[in-house]
Structures are given as C-alpha cells and as structure tokens.
Amino acid sequence: MVRLLSVLIALAAPIAADAALPIGAKAPDFSTQVSLAGKPMSFSLAKALKKGPVVLYFYPAAFTQGCTIEAHQFAEATDDFRKLGATVVGMSADPIDKLNRFSVEACRNKFAVGSATPATITAYDVTLPKNPAMSNRTSYVIAPDGKVIFAYSAMDPAGHVHGTMDAVKSWKAAHRKG
C-alpha cells in the first residue's frame, strides 16, 4: 500500500528536471537554528518527523520577490498543513538575524524558517548553480519514516504549496486509522 502510494504521488506530482532527492530517498537528518515569530530556536528534522510529515522547502534568499511570495503562500496554507499533522519549515542560507525579521514579516508568524548550512544545502542537492553558497527553490515532503514522498524544484514559487499540500493529503489518506 505504501509503495503504491509512493508511485501514485510520484506520477501525479510535478517534478522538475533539477529536483534533488528522488522519491523514496532517505532525507538527510539535520539540526539548525530556526526562527518562528521572530524568536530563534533549535530545530531537529528527526524530532519534527516524530510528530508527522515535514514540508521542507528551500528558497534562495529572504526578502527577495519570489521568496516573499512563496513565504506568503506557505503562511496562508500553514493551518491546513497543521490540520493534516504536517510541520512546515523553510530553509535558506540567510543568517538567523535576517530570518527573525522574515519569519514575522513574510511568514506572518505561521511557520519556522531556518538557516541552512552549506552541508545541508549540499546534502539535499539544492545548490544554486550561479551561487553555490545559496540554495535553489526546492520543496520536499518527508514522511515520518524519513523518506521523501514529494520533491519539486522550480525557481518560480508557483506550484510549491499546491504540490506539497497534495502530497501531504495523499499521505494522510493512506495512513488514516480506522
């Protein structure tokens, strides 16, 4: 059943040619500093996965046009993700001081944004070709077992929230109890 779900999500999900980790891959574990509502705190992927799926999205830089649009879209959808048991976290190479402001102004205090280390950017294979210190725009959904069930890479922010939401809904439907 889980394998069938993975295949269905893979076929239904828009996956661009430069999507980094393939469906079914084990997501690299990491811990980092995040900001939620302007307050820095620690974040552990392993700990978040104990609560349910994680929507992990990488973006190039806070306060740029596309990244602000994407943050607004994820902020609008965060309550729906939460109802499905999913945690949303955005990641960029920005310093935590900048992310403290971004989490309030663009993320509207709805979800955490974290500082991605070069090692995390490399591990998720989301390096921006023109600037290896930054990430491209890639969204993942990681199931509680640590496996990638959705991956989408596109510099246009359109499609990231919709795709991740569909993947979380499909996962939730396949894992309903009773």
Active-site amino acid positions: 67
Helix or strand holding residue 143 (H, E): none
Beta bridge partners of 139: 57, 152
- Between CA 71 and CA 67 the distance in angstroms is 6
Burial 109-143 (b: 16+ CB within 10 A, else e): ebbbbbbbeeebbebbbbbbeeeeebbbbbbbbbb
Phi, psi dihedral angles at 54 (to 5 degrees): -120, 130
Pair of tokens at residue 31: 């811990």
Q: How many CB atoms lie within 10 A of CB 102?
A: 23
